[in-house]
């Protein structure tokens, strides 16, 4: 059976051109970049070239503003804990949104235990944070605001540049988790105006196990991993040299080809969303209709549960993702969908299909053919479906 | 993560739908948790002649519902009451541990259907 991968928001395949760039560093060039001998120097040269390239691609002022990490999650942890602990004297208040990735969201739980106070900004039914709510949340003790650029579940893209203007005037540090948007949307720290930005290589056809954090010059950061002097004392541990070199190449390629991919993805995404919403009654689009990641389609099908939907899709060779409790690893469905005002019942029936640069129209056509049959099959066995149509506002978010 | 038997019952669920001849119906779970199981039983002279189900829920919820309806057919009420959620999971070659509590309620639904039948008998 042909397999169709529509889970690019989870991870992407390694671009063969990226692999080619990495191979010498997996074979001959094995020195430790911290060593002063020739073996170490050639490895060091590789990571410094990668640092310069990534700094340029992100519109940073200097390569020293890039810190290599082991993942997007680590970058988020370093940004938030690093700033919080470095600026503790100045204040203990942090502002974030209610729809952050768990790497950010769960970091606050740790900080709350240390006495930090966190304000979670609400979002509207499309997953947007309002400028006004950010303004109202600001306190004299606010040391950091962290709002994600593009949401990993529903794809909503926040007006980061507008937020940063407001925060810059007030000299409050601003971090954005751009793990979903780097390489997909134009992401320049100079344009977004952020002080810290997280990225992860495997989301843009780079290798897994490597991420980076942009930290504007002058921003203090408390070290989170202790041990060595790597990354200018900001992140101990021998660098993942092949991964770092691969990440730089992946970002160069993604940015070079971005405009074409963006157009291709947006067209297929809109075709997929419109077709499914036409063919399957009582379907809700989650996220913003236009301000969303080009490859993200997130829909709720009422009366059915997400994991059952995913298993059926998998049986047909289609790989997707869901925000149901069964797939979120807790008893509650996705905190993102709940924050957008969806009821638990509807949130359990969510499906995320995230398209990639190699996704074809034929693959999307296959999904459009197969998915309505699966939804019908599950609805036919659902005791909830008997009440279909009794309520009027079934497919709109409950406020 | 699921056994072959779970996937078989998920992919080809047995006894799906409403049972028009049912004289006992039991339901457990709620939509908020993402699981609702409803079991229909046709009982005569203390024996279960037929069973069907309707379920809103994950793969484990559907597979256990399907399995329990297979297990109770032909059984006496006393025998059916002895079937536990664990026995249903065992008959499916086990369930992932996270599913044992949230989605393994099919035997409870079946027991409620029996109680419903018994309550109706007493009214008569």
pLDDT in tens, A321-376: 998 776 666 667 899 999 999 999 999 999 999 999 999 999 999 999 999 999 99
CB-based contacts of A139: which residues, under 8 Å, 6+ apart? A91, A93
Residues of A in contact with B17 (CB under 8 A): 380-381
The average pLDDT across B103-107 equals 90
Residue-level pLDDT at A396: 39
Confidence label for A398 from pLDDT (cuts 50, 70 and 90)? very low
Contact B55 A381 (CB under 8 A): yes
Does pLDDT of A312 surpass 90?
yes
Contact B58 A326 (CB under 8 A): yes
Q: Which residue of B16, B22, B34 to mutate against A (max A Cβ within 10 Å)?
A: B34
Residue-level pLDDT at B31: 83
Identify which of A307, A324, A345 has the shortest CB distance to residue B31. A345
CA distance B4 to chain A (A): 13
Q: How far is the C-alpha of B60 from the C-alpha of B93, rounded, in Å?
A: 12
As for the ipTM of the complex, it is: 0.94
Confidence label for A388 from pLDDT (cuts 50, 70 and 90)? low
Q: How far is the C-alpha of A279 from the C-alpha of A376, rounded, in Å?
A: 11
A42 and A277 Cβ atoms separated by less than 8 Å = no
Does pLDDT of A394 surpass 50?
no
Residue-level pLDDT at A397: 38
Average pLDDT of chain A?
94
A17 and A253 Cβ atoms separated by less than 8 Å = yes
pLDDT digits (tens, 9 = 90+) for B70-89: 999 999 999 999 999 999 99
Tell me, yes or no, if B107 comes closer than 8 A to chain A by beta carbon.
Answer: no
CA distance B64 to chain A (A): 13
Confidence label for B32 from pLDDT (cuts 50, 70 and 90)? confident
Residue-level pLDDT at A115: 96
pLDDT cut 90: percent of chain A above it: 92
CA distance B19 to chain A (A): 12
Residues of B in contact with A306 (CB under 8 A): 58
Residue-level pLDDT at A266: 98
CB-based contacts of B66: which residues, under 8 Å, 6+ apart? B9, B10, B13, B14, B15, B16, B53
Residue-level pLDDT at B77: 97
DSSP character at residue A229: -
Sign of CA dihedral B13, B19, B24, B25: positive
Tell me, yes or no, if B100 comes closer than 8 A to chain A by beta carbon.
Answer: no
Residue B89 sits at the vertex; the CA angle it makes with B88 and B90, to the nearest 5 degrees, is 90
CA distance B1 to chain A (A): 11
The average pLDDT across A278-293 equals 97
The average pLDDT across A115-137 equals 97
Identify which of B27, B31, B57 has the shortest CB distance to residue A308. B57
> pTM of the full predicted structure?
0.93
Tell me, yes or no, if B28 comes closer than 8 A to chain A by beta carbon.
Answer: no
Q: Which residue of B26, B32, B56, B113 to mutate against A (max A Cβ within 10 Å)?
A: B56
pLDDT digits (tens, 9 = 90+) for A154-210: 999 999 999 999 999 999 999 999 999 999 999 999 999 999 999 999 999 999 999
3-state secondary structure of A65: helix
Q: How far is the C-alpha of A334 from the C-alpha of A344, rounded, in Å?
A: 9
């Amino acid at each position: 059976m042909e397999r169709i991968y529509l889970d690019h928001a989870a991870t992407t395949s390694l671009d063969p051109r990226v692999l080619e760039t990495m191979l010498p560093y997996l074979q001959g060039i094995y020195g430790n970049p911290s060593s002063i001998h020739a073996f170490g120097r050639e490895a060091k040269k590789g990571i410094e070239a990668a640092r310069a390239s990534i700094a340029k691609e992100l519109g940073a002022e200097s390569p020293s503003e890039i810190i290599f990490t082991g993942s997007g999650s680590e970058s988020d942890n370093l940004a938030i804990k690093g700033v919080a602990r470095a600026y503790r004297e100045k204040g203990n208040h942090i502002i974030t949104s209610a729809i952050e990735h768990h790497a950010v969201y769960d970091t606050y739980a740790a900080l709350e235990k240390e006495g930090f106070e966190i304000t979670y900004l609400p979002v509207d039914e499309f997953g947007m944070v309002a400028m006004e709510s950010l303004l109202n949340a600001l306190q004299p003790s606010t040391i950091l605001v962290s709002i994600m650029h593009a949401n990993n579940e529903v794809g909503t893209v926040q007006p980061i540049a507008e937020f940063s203007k407001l925060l810059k005037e007030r000299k409050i540090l601003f971090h954005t988790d751009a793990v979903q948007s780097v390489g997909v949307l134009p992401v320049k720290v100079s344009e977004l105006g952020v002080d810290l930005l997280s990225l992860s290589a495997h989301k843009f056809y780079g290798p897994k196990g490597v991420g980076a954090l942009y930290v504007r010059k002058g921003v203090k950061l408390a070290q989170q991993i202790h041990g060595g002097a790597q990354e200018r004392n900001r992140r101990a541990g021998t660098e993942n040299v092949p991964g770092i070199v691969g990440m730089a190449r992946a970002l160069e390629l993604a940015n070079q080809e971005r405009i074409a991919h963006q157009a291709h993805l947006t067209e297929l995404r809109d075709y997929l969303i419109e077709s499914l919403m036409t063919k399957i009654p009582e379907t809700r689009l989650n996220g913003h209709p236009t301000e969303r990641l080009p490859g993200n389609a997130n829909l709720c099908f009422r009366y059915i549960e997400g994991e059952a939907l995913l298993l059926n899709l998998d049986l047909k060779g289609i790989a997707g993702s869901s925000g149901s409790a069964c797939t979120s690893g807790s008893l509650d469905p996705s905190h993102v969908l709940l924050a957008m005002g969806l009821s638990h019942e509807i949130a359990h029936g969510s499906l995320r299909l995230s398209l990639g640069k190699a996704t074809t129209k034929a693959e999307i056509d296959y999904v459009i053919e197969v998915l309505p049959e699966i939804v019908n099959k599950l609805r036919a066995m659902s005791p909830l479906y008997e009440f279909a149509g009794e309520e009027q506002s079934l497919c709109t978010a409950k406020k | 993560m699921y056994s072959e038997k779970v996937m078989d019952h998920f992919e080809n669920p047995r006894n799906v739908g409403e049972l028009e001849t049912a004289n006992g119906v039991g339901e457990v779970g709620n939509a908020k948790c993402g699981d609702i199981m409803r079991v229909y039983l046709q009982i005569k002279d203390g024996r279960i002649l037929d069973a069907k189900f309707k379920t809103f829920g994950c793969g484990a919820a559907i597979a256990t519902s399907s399995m329990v309806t297979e297990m109770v057919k032909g059984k006496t009420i006393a025998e059916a009451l002895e079937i536990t959620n664990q026995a249903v999971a065992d008959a499916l070659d086990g369930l992932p541990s996270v599913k044992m509590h949230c989605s393994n309620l099919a035997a409870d639904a079946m027991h409620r259907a029996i109680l419903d039948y018994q309550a109706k008998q007493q009214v008569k």
